[in-house]
Amino acid sequence: MSRVTDILVLAGLDFASQVVTLLGCLALVTLGLHLVERRVSRRLSHRFGWRSVLLTGWLGVPLHELSHLVMCWVFRHRIVAYRLFDPDPRTGTLGYVHHAYQRRSFFQIAGNFFIGVAPLLAGSAVLLLGLILLLPGTQPLSTGPAPVGFGPQVSHVVGLAGSTLGRMVSLPHLASWNLWVFLALALCVGTHMSPSRPDLTGALPGLALLLMVLFGLDVVNRALSLWPPDLWVRVAAGVLSPLLAVLCVALALEVLLWLMVEVVARLTSPRRGVSLGYES
């Protein structure tokens, strides 16, 4: 009994470390993107009309919906209906993908998670490719092993993002059109890359299944000692770190856009007239 308890405790510790390492930073950046995106969209639509959101939506929304669509095909979900770009001012919807899946298929249930977070994966991949093609040498590169744990992982990713931003705003790049094209790309993609609330809700069944499988593998590994407990999580974190760093860069640019929108909205907002009283 003591042996079983030790295995479960150690597996639980491995599981907790893996979850906070792989999902902690992702959840934090996703929340930041979601909040800033909502604020920018609302501020633009309230001040300049709902069509102002289309300035970035013409590119960001089709990429967002296409990523959902591709993941639906990968995990064999049935496509019910989709619109890659179909702005509707009455509902606020810019596009959608409706899909269905078999409740008894573990593969399709797990696919819900990847379908839900697909805009983050696709958006970060597009921005990373944009850095490589437009600003060679600025992309985030991890030189050492990826750390394990929430705090170390956040520090590692923020460091990569900071060094990327530093290389981007060098004097040669500021004088080049490449930087400004990338900034336009980043704003269009970044403004629409965060999953919506229905996206995240739909991803929960897949996430729950994947977490159960992960814990089961940790129990088997602790019982049989098949591989070092932190081996694969370090490999996975090393792969995710550059993508997370790109997401942090997108978040930084979104915050800058938010501040600019706030300033422009305040400067262009009509001032309330002051009534003057005259004594007879």
Q: Where are the domains of the chain?
A: 2-66+117-203+214-266
Q: 251-275, pLDDT tens digit by residue?
A: 999 999 889 888 888 887 765 544 3
Structure confidence at residue 280 (pLDDT) = 32
Residue type, 52: S
* Mean pLDDT (whole number) for 43-52: 81
Structure confidence at residue 278 (pLDDT) = 34
Contact 85, 57 (CB under 8 A): yes
Query: pTM of the prediction?
Result: 0.87
Give the model's confidence band at 277: pLDDT under 50 very low, under 70 low, under 90 confident, else very high.
very low
Q: 166-222, pLDDT tens digit by residue?
A: 999 888 888 899 999 999 999 999 899 999 889 999 999 999 999 999 999 999 999
Structure confidence at residue 40 (pLDDT) = 87
Cβ count near 62 (within 10 Å)? 17
Structure confidence at residue 139 (pLDDT) = 87
Which contacts qualify for 19-23: CB closer than 8 Å, 24 or more apart? 19/211, 19/214, 20/149, 20/150, 20/153, 21/147, 21/148, 21/149, 21/150, 21/153, 21/233, 21/237, 22/233, 22/236, 22/237, 22/240
Q: What is the mean pLDDT of the chain?
A: 88
Q: What are phi and psi of 66, to 5 degrees?
A: -65, -35
* Mean pLDDT (whole number) for 110-135: 94
